[in-house]
Amino acid sequence: MTTYENLAPLEPTDAARRFTDPQTWGTFGAQWNSGEQKTLVCCAVYPETHDVKTFVFRCADFSALSFEAGQFITLSPVIAGQPIARCYTVSSSPTRPFAFAITVKRVPGGLVSNWLHDRLQPGDCLRASGPAGSFTPVGIPAKKWLYLSAGSGVTPLMSMTRTAFDMASDLDIVFVHSARTPTDIIFHDELQGMQARMAGLRVLHVCESPGTTVDWQHPIGRLDLPLLSQHVPDFREREVFTCGPQGYMEAVKSLLKDARFDFAHYHQESFDITVLNAEPVIEQAPSLDQASLFTVTLSRSGKTFTMTGTQTVLSAAKKAGAIVPSSCSQGVCGTCKTALLEGTVDMNHNGGIRQREIDKGLRLLCCSKPTSDLVIDL
Ligand SMILES: Cc1cc2nc3c(=O)[nH]c(=O)nc-3n(C[C@H](O)[C@H](O)[C@H](O)COP(=O)(O)OP(=O)(O)OC[C@H]3O[C@@H](n4cnc5c(N)ncnc54)[C@H](O)[C@@H]3O)c2cc1C
Ligand code: FES
């Protein structure tokens, strides 16, 4: 077994014995909650397509992952001596909280996705922080749903579908997934299997081309308004959840706009790394306030640096040599959530922090610019 970051070897504990003894399954107490860090043990790795793999984990202390379908965890593998954080949606269902899965597409040149595909083996351990994200159906009273996904954007919608299936739900779900070719479709067989057993689930796959598949029965092309209207004529009555590359989501939004869809019933999440991994660049001339220099003190290390109000606290702290966990740099993932002990910032987030966390003094450093001197809990 490989352990990363010198993690302590796992000792058989009471929890471990309970986990392996079917007599006591379901009697666990500990939970892995939002914002907490845990050591995860990889239990299984299996291929989904030629460039997508599923990784199954459990908590090393046998905690149950407490999450809502559609949420993600942030993995922090140590690669070449550096901890690197990346978000991955939990593709399994919250109805199965002890062994949970992420499903990862290999990104050409990408650090973490390739490391996971090439290096992570069953028995390996890595650190991760607890579930986050607001792309979840919890609390929405709809009966009719439309899930629209492309590529690896299928993962949150798969978690929602698996949950509905496991709960024997009577929801009416249409799941339209777009892929390049039939061999690129993730979860094809499982979705077909669930559709055969769940009256309210209808699955439609749309491929840009049939590739090498000779007997492809589903639509060919890209999702557009005529195709959606033909296959899901009542789409205007549905709660829409969509996830995929930026271009796909722009196309979905534009077709729904053309159809005069009510966007109060529209929810989206982007994984788009080209957009998400870019540090925000501020081009405009700074106002007088922004041009002033602010002093930032890191309370734990005692480090101090100065920055202007045009930079994000994250980028300035990194330039000053501070180690700050971060992933999306766009206020989505919550990885850079840190307590602001003194001072004020202008924070422009994209759902990565909840109001109750803001009320407690937490801020996302990647999308916060100072408006005074700051003391932060780092
Ligand atoms: C909320 C959320 C949920 C997500 N869920 C999932 C999920 O369920 N499944 C999934 O597969 N992904 C998911 N992602 C995306 C995931 O977090 C990563 O962004 C993705 O795996 C790529 O990370 P990486 O480290 O492999 O790529 P990075 O190293 O971050 O590379 C990003 C880009 O830079 C390019 N690049 C990297 N190195 C170089 C170089 N030296 N020269 C030139 N270009 C380079 C890469 O080609 C790539 O285009 C999610 C993202 C978010 C924000
Ligand atoms: S790094 Fe993702 S919210 Fe800041």
Nearest CA to ligand 2 atom 3: 331
Q: Is 149 in the pocket of ligand 1 (CB under 6 A)?
A: no
Question: What pLDDT score was predicted for residue 110?
Answer: 93
Pocket test for ligand 1, best of 113, 155, 327 (most atoms within 8 A of CB): 113
Q: Tell which atom from ligand 2 comes closest to the C-alpha of 365.
A: 4
- DSSP of 217-248: -S-BS---HHHHHHH-TTGGGSEEEEEE-HHH
The domains of the chain are located at: 14-132, 144-271, 288-376
Ligand nearest to the CA of 243: 1
Q: Tell which atom from ligand 2 comes closest to the C-alpha of 353.
A: 3
Mean pLDDT by 10 residues, the chain (378 residues): 50 63 62 86 97 97 92 92 90 95 96 97 93 88 97 97 96 98 97 97 96 90 96 98 93 97 93 51 50 90 93 92 80 86 94 87 96 95
**Dihedral of alpha carbons 65, 67, 72, 76, sign:** negative
**Residue 150 near residue 175, CB atoms below 8 Å:** no
Question: What pLDDT score was predicted for residue 40?
Answer: 97
- How many whole angstroms separate alpha carbon 95 and alpha carbon 218? 31
Question: What pLDDT score was predicted for residue 5?
Answer: 53
Residue 169: phi and psi, rounded to 5, are -70, 155
Q: Is 150 in the pocket of ligand 2 (CB under 6 A)?
A: no
Nearest CA to ligand 1 atom 52: 271
Rounded to the nearest angstrom, the distance between the alpha carbon of 121 and the centre of ligand 2 is 27
Q: Beta strands 293-298 and 304-308: pairing type? A: antiparallel
What is the fold of 144-271? Answer: Rossmann fold (3.40.50)
The CATH class that applies to domain 14-132 reads mainly beta
Considering the four listed CATH numbers 2.60.40.10, 3.30.360.10, 3.10.20.30, 3.30.2350.10, the one that applies to the domain covering 288-376 is: 3.10.20.30
Question: What pLDDT score was predicted for residue 12?
Answer: 59
- Tokens 């992952």 belong to 65
**Residue 127 near residue 39, CB atoms below 8 Å:** yes
Question: What pLDDT score was predicted for residue 2?
Answer: 47
Question: What pLDDT score was predicted for residue 359?
Answer: 96
